[in-house]
Amino acid sequence: MLNNQVLIREILVGGRPMILETGRLAKQASGSVLVRYGDTVVLVTATMAGHVRAGIDFFPLTVDYEERFYAVGKIPGGFIKRESRPSEKAVLSGRLIDRPIRPLFPKEMRNEVQVIATIMSVDQDHAPEIAAMIGASAALHISEIPLKYPIGGVIVGRVDGQFVINPVLAQIEKSDMHLVVAGTGEAVMMVEAGAREIPEAVMLEAISFGHDSVKEIVNFIEKFRDEALAIGLAKEKVIPDIAEPGNDIIEAVTGPAEEKLEVALRRCVNEKLIKQARESYLDDVKNELAGQFIETFPDQENLISTVIDAVEKKIVRRMITTEGVRIDGRALTEVRPISVEVGVLPRPHGSGLFTRGQTQILSAVTLGTISDEQILDGLGVEESKRFMHHYNFPPFSVGETRPMRSPGRREIGHGALAERALSAVIPTEEEFPYTIRLVSEALESNGSTSMGSVCGSCLALMDAGVPIKAPVAGVAMGLIKEGDNHSVLTDIQGFEDHLGDMDFKVAGTAKGITALQMDIKIAGITQEVFEQALAQAHDGRMHILNKIIEVIPAPRPELSPHAPRIIHTTIDPDKIRDVIGPGGKIIKKIVEETGADIDIEDDGRVFISSVDQEKGKIALQIIESLTKEIQAGEIYNGRVTKVMDFGCFVEIIPGVLGLPGKEGLVHISQLEHHRVNKVEDVVKEGDMILVKTIGYDNQGRLKLSKKDVTPAPEGKVPREDRGDRPRDRGSRPQRRREFGRS
């Protein structure tokens, strides 16, 4: 029998109502919630497969964030007028939801779970990604899917020093931070931030402020589930079949594994084996161990390996928390050896090579014109962007082989994090009128290539002569938590990331944080851990910044000889047509003759770019000649272009490259102080003469005077000097009376 009940409940988030509804739409999904926040409407569904996906050793969770262009009343661009592959914003929003909920499922779960957030209406003052995150939490929580706890999420901004929950568009433009906080009622699970050099103490305060709102949202979702369960719209939780080792396997394998792995791991530490040697050696030890039990437990290779891996993880974590010993022998706060190089590539406009341990990033920057901006076809208010950072992770960086494909979610996420970290120091368009594209190639990977990309890209920007406000560096922090004991690790490598409980990435300048990203694998961390992690990250960041400054203390004073030189000027918007010409004839001629690229904005801004700066200057002179506003009273040395009976035409600004110049008419009465009977008696075609502008006629044509720049004959008073001379014949009425008497 169908349940026709509908549950609708409301909560205030950031002082504005958010409405959750279930029971009306998408009722065949395991859980379905419609979220309305302002005029933003998002449908979120959660569905779980009824069987275990065989042959995998991970939890198959998928979060899809589906943007619909009808949500903002737009038709998609391009030839195919329908939504296709997800935008970068959609990929990042999907990751934003995935990261805080993934740790809250049973570790051994192998049933596929899919969360789909369909963006149906967007009000730019109410972020759809936040509505989608809360909707995902609620949809999972009312379903049978075994999510341990619901989560909440908010954006924290800071306007005029005051924190704001889910700032509206006008507040976002004034805010010096954009912080996303997601978590359970007990702890923070995920943090994502971009900021304008915010101090660590302020960032901590902002996270705590955001978590207070998260707690209210979590309590609301708990009550929402309780009410939905009471009327049959929520389901009892189901724990799927989970393949776990039996006690017999655990008891048989654990002892021998602890004995051999303890020795093997100690050897790795003492000999400071590098990644490849360590992995090969430990794989041999674990394979040998597994081989001892295959006959006893046939067809149980996966479960035997699971026990051996659990023992390895236990030993490594114990060594760190009780002895302060890391697998490569470093101290807990020690950064791996760093190598910094700039100018490693001859033709790109700037390049930097950053190596930290066995993580190596080569970054290159390209400077382009304003027309090279990326056009954004999405649901946001931004239509283009002039600063881009892209990240590539080829398989050879970890010694593997796999097909080369287009960037995946991880590559897009890492590229966006580094872009956010550097955005705070990129000069404005007025200061540096270039489009800037950075590409970071991960040549070697053993921990935190995203933070390596921040450092390599900073080097490339300074090598290119981009006037960034300050150097930026980044470092990744880790956490090992065993009971009440915890250890925060500076500059984690891949092995520690895999076995640890936290990946906490912090980037910034010497002044403060510009980007922050935290992912937790356990049920949240405390304020104390946050403070310690940020303090250690600050020390690590300063260490790396000092290494950068030793090699290149400031941006180069000159751009690369291969980079375009951009000249920026502004003209009257009404004069744009004079530069473009009919059918683009004039601007095409300028580009053809000078080789310069010219971009003209609707507001009159003109950007002239050319690798040859002299040709750019020629193009500027041409544009200035075409758009110069002639004012009355200016004096020019002009060329007589045509002689007529009534005067002569004089070109005061010569045409260039066969393009017309500016000319005006010197009327015959303006040639000399005495009466001129014939124009040719004074000037001939081709003569160079001084003229003065005296205004425009009724048809907007320029009027010139030769007479006004020629000294008057002795005894002759120039016309403009006669106004103050007293009349000596009396007033006009007086003269009339005198004439009448005579």
| Long-range CB pairs of 584-593, under 8 A, 24+ apart, other chains included | 586/626, 586/659, 589/657, 589/658, 589/659, 590/619, 590/622, 590/623, 590/657, 590/659, 591/619, 593/657
Half-sphere exposure of 363 (CA within 13 A, CB side): 35
Structure confidence at residue 670 (pLDDT)? 95
Reference 670, options 722, 724, 723, 719; nearest CA is 719
CATH superfamily of 565-627: K Homology domain, type 1 (3.30.1370.10)
Mapped onto helix, strand or coil, the DSSP state of residue 235 is coil
Residue 103 has pLDDT above 80, yes or no: yes
Structure confidence at residue 740 (pLDDT)? 40
Structure confidence at residue 733 (pLDDT)? 46
**Alpha carbon distance 298, 213 (integer Å):** 52
Structure confidence at residue 621 (pLDDT)? 85
Structure confidence at residue 299 (pLDDT)? 78
Beta-strand ranges (E) seen in 571-659 are: 597-600, 605-610, 635-644, 647-653
> 247-323 in CATH: which number?
1.10.10
> 7-230 in CATH: which number?
3.30.230.70
Q: What is the pTM of this model?
A: 0.85
> Tokens representing 6?
């509908």
What is the per-residue pLDDT across 296-318, written as a single tens digit (0 to 9) for each?
888 788 888 889 999 999 999 99
Sorted by where each begins, the domain ranges of the chain are: 7-230, 247-323, 338-400+407-551, 565-627, 635-719
Q: Which residues contact 661 (CB under 8 A, 6 or more apart)?
A: 625, 651, 652, 653, 654, 655
**Alpha carbon distance 25, 29 (integer Å):** 9
Rounded to an integer, the average pLDDT of 127-141 is 98
Residue type, 279: E
Residue 392 has pLDDT above 90, yes or no: yes
3-state helix, strand, coil in the chain (%, to 5): 35, 30, 35
Mapped onto helix, strand or coil, the DSSP state of residue 671 is coil
Q: Which residues contact 634 (CB under 8 A, 6 or more apart)?
A: 692, 693
User: Which is more confidently placed, 655 or 103?
Assistant: 103
CB 355 within 8 A of CB 447: no
Q: In what order do the strands lie in the sheet with 597-600?
A: 565-570, 605-610, 597-600
CA-to-CA separations, 12 to 153, 157, 175, in angstroms, rounded:
13, 17, 22
Residue 734 has pLDDT above 70, yes or no: no
Residue 334, burial from CB neighbour count under 10 angstroms (0-12, 13-18, 19+): middle
Domain boundaries 338-400+407-551, CATH class? alpha beta
Angle between helices 247-271 and 301-323 (to 10 degrees): 50
Structure confidence at residue 523 (pLDDT)? 67
Where residue 310 falls (left for φ over 0; alpha for ψ -120 to 50; beta otherwise) is: alpha
Rounded to an integer, the average pLDDT of 516-542 is 87
Least confident of 390-399, 410-419, 576-585: 576-585
Mean pLDDT score of the chain: 90
What is the per-residue pLDDT across 498-525, written as a single tens digit (0 to 9) for each?
888 888 999 999 999 999 999 888 766 7
**Alpha carbon distance 232, 3 (integer Å):** 7
Mapped onto helix, strand or coil, the DSSP state of residue 718 is coil
Domain boundaries 635-719, CATH class? mainly beta
- Tell me if domain 7-230 and domain 338-400+407-551 are identical in fold: yes
**Alpha carbon distance 190, 181 (integer Å):** 6
Structure confidence at residue 677 (pLDDT)? 93
Structure confidence at residue 622 (pLDDT)? 87
Structure confidence at residue 108 (pLDDT)? 81
Q: Which residues contact 678 (CB under 8 A, 6 or more apart)?
A: none
CA-to-CA separations, 488 to 338, 538, 585, in angstroms, rounded:
21, 13, 66
Rounded to an integer, the average pLDDT of 195-201 is 95
What is the per-residue pLDDT across 673-707, written as a single tens digit (0 to 9) for each?
999 999 999 999 999 999 999 998 888 789 999 99
CB 397 within 8 A of CB 275: no
Residue type, 272: K
Q: What pLDDT band is residue 483 in, cutting at 50, 70 and 90?
A: confident
CB-CB neighbours of 589 under 10 Å = 16
Structure confidence at residue 681 (pLDDT)? 93
Least confident of 245-249, 402-406, 730-734: 730-734
Q: Is 497 annotated as a binding residue?
A: yes
Q: Is 39 annotated as a binding residue?
A: no
Going by DSSP bridges, is the β-strand pair 688-696/662-667 parallel, antiparallel, or unpaired? unpaired
